[in-house]
Homo-oligomer: A and B are copies of this chain.
């Protein structure tokens, strides 16, 4: 079921990146879209329609889409803070403790991240970069088949560490108590029950009940992602999330049962999730394949796992660990785990990945919940240029220029010359006034 590939076959198959924006939608998605929005309407067109209606009609449009798309009658979008408190109070103590541990570590990790707030007096006066928090942030927390209180912690806490003054959470109607409990735990009191593209629209434009924010973060389903793409430029974004991915590089020192468990944990996320093992050991490959079969039947989401193992997962047999590292780097996975004798050494050969999980004790599931770094990481090969969600995502830089008079005069004379070649006589004039003290 988890197939074994040679390098070339893997390159042409499971390792080949399909640019998300050009990906064909599954037939079921297109069919459901047409059933709800009319013949010939693509998911993008449906999302445009949702965005426009929310911009124009506000809450009334949100109610309509919640009914049509989520089959939910929503009177008040805002969850009362009493309900958040109650959800926390009703959480069993062991889970409370686990969530507290997670929140504490996420906060500690992000508080350690240095920010590039700096000034210099080496350049003739005072220059530098001032870092300030984004004022209002919207966090999308998906509902769906597996409610994720961890997703709330992983986005909200870095924003709090950055100093964001207003954090607004949107999550589909009738959210799970665990999500509400997580909101209470980290002190968020603006939680709105609205999901999908309509939630993104509400956060981007504002409605009567939901404030317009400066930046939207968090992953959601296809409609959420398409909506984020369409509001790009109007509002800040953390990126567009595709299906989740884990790659494992393992040598013959790895425990096949653990590797199998890590691949299965990844595969259970959703039908498009991808779990890939790179290994030079054919013994390990066979043992992992067998362990996957053995463990699979005991899992609650075995049907989902079977399909995601089939779709975009596999074992790639490589000539050596260097090749495994090179392939993983080109693939640029969201998560990259090193189940090898010397994780640090192999990791040095990899340029691109959202997170490195070094050693079998640092498995990816800990990254999902409690290790500390945000589990919102770049997918679909975007780790070539994008980072996991971090404190920098919730601040922005203002460049500072305060030159001393002598430097200003020298630079003004140079500016006159460059402005001349750029044929900008207004620029030249403004600079000449200062250069000549007119």
Chain A residues within CB distance 8 Å of chain B: 19-22, 55, 94-95, 97-99, 101-102, 105, 108-109, 112-116, 118, 120, 122-123, 125-130, 132, 134-135, 145-150, 178, 214-215, 229-236, 239-240, 257-258, 261-262, 264-269, 295, 298-301, 305, 343-344, 351-374, 377-378, 380, 382-388, 390, 392, 396-405, 408-415, 417-427, 429-431, 433-434, 438
Contacts and interface: CB of A to CB of B under 8 A. Distances in A.
A63 to B, nearest CB: 23
Given A129-B390, A426-B268, A431-B365, A371 B116 contact: no
- Identical copies in the complex: 2
27 contacts: A21-B231, A108-B123, A113-B129, A116-B392, A127-B372, A129-B373, A261-B426, A265-B424, A265-B430, A266-B426, A268-B426, A300-B425, A343-B402, A352-B396, A358-B402, A361-B403, A363-B431, A363-B434, A365-B415, A365-B431, A366-B408, A366-B411, A368-B415, A369-B414, A371-B401, A373-B401, A378-B396
B101 A411 contact: yes
Contacts of A145: 423
B373 A399 contact: yes
A134 B383 CA distance: 9
A113 B116 contact: yes
State the main secondary structure of chain A at its contact with B. mixed
B414 A370 contact: yes
B113 A115 contact: no
A23 to B, nearest CB: 10
A368 B130 CA distance: 19
